Amino acid sequence: MRQRTQRPQCRFDPLLLVNAAHPLPKVPWPDLTAVDECYPDVLLERRVAGLLGACIQAVNGQGQIVPVSGWRSQAEQQSIWDDCLIQSGETFTRKYVALPGCSEHQTGLAIDLGLAADEIDFIRPDFPADGVCGAFRRRAADFGFVLRYPAGKEGVTGIAHEPWHFRYVGVPHARLMAEMGFTLEEYVAWLRECHSQAPLRRQLGLYEFSVQYHSGTTQPVLPEYGYSQRSRDNCGGWIVTTWR
């Protein structure tokens, strides 16, 4: 059982980019909770865990889609890296395991999922494109999740295709990324290039949302109207999303 320690006040940055070029900043741990009572050691940020459960329930995936790996501490990521190097070699490890300090799993926003089985590969769980797993994949963006490491984007993400690894970025960002075929790296760069001066505005159901990129380390002032959320991008800026 993972030891619990007293944690400082946490932040929630759903668009935080974490990869080999953008290591995890020194931030407080997320507000963690168990994804499922049957898997008490698989943890996610509290809001993300609730939305993951809702998505699984929406596709009737309870008992079929199981959480394999969620939040990891620095020590746990280091242990996984070291063990994989010994067991599978450097080439395999660099393809499927992020460097300690550069893993999305350390944010509490990423989850590896697997199809229920007697034995599940921890590093590469089976998550097929059809059946209930395919249904989850089709609905994921509606709940704020994206397939983080898609096929054909290995040169962008630095990680091999992982059909089991999903990342919470929130709505509307997940829908925009799916619509445009963007990875998180590409999405953040696009917002910085195209929407620093004028916000992106779209209609989503009954609501209108806007997204704007703000450069600099100072927290941007949120609009007085609507509901707003700001997220660091870990690239020297902030992304502000407003719904009304």
The catalytic residues are 162
Closest by CA to 53, choosing from 131, 127, 143, 130, is: 143
Any idea what DSSP says for residue 98? P
Q: Could you give the CA distance from residue 8 to residue 27 in angstroms, rounded to a whole number?
A: 9
By the 8 A CB rule, do 70 and 45 touch?
no
How many CB atoms neighbour CB 175 within 10 A?
Answer: 17
Question: Residue 215: CB partners within 8 Å, gap ≥ 6?
Answer: 192, 196, 236, 237
Closest by CA to 192, choosing from 231, 154, 235, is: 235
Is 63 buried (19+), middle (13-18) or exposed (0-12) by CB count in 10 A? exposed
Retrieve residue 231's tokens.
Answer: 């997220």
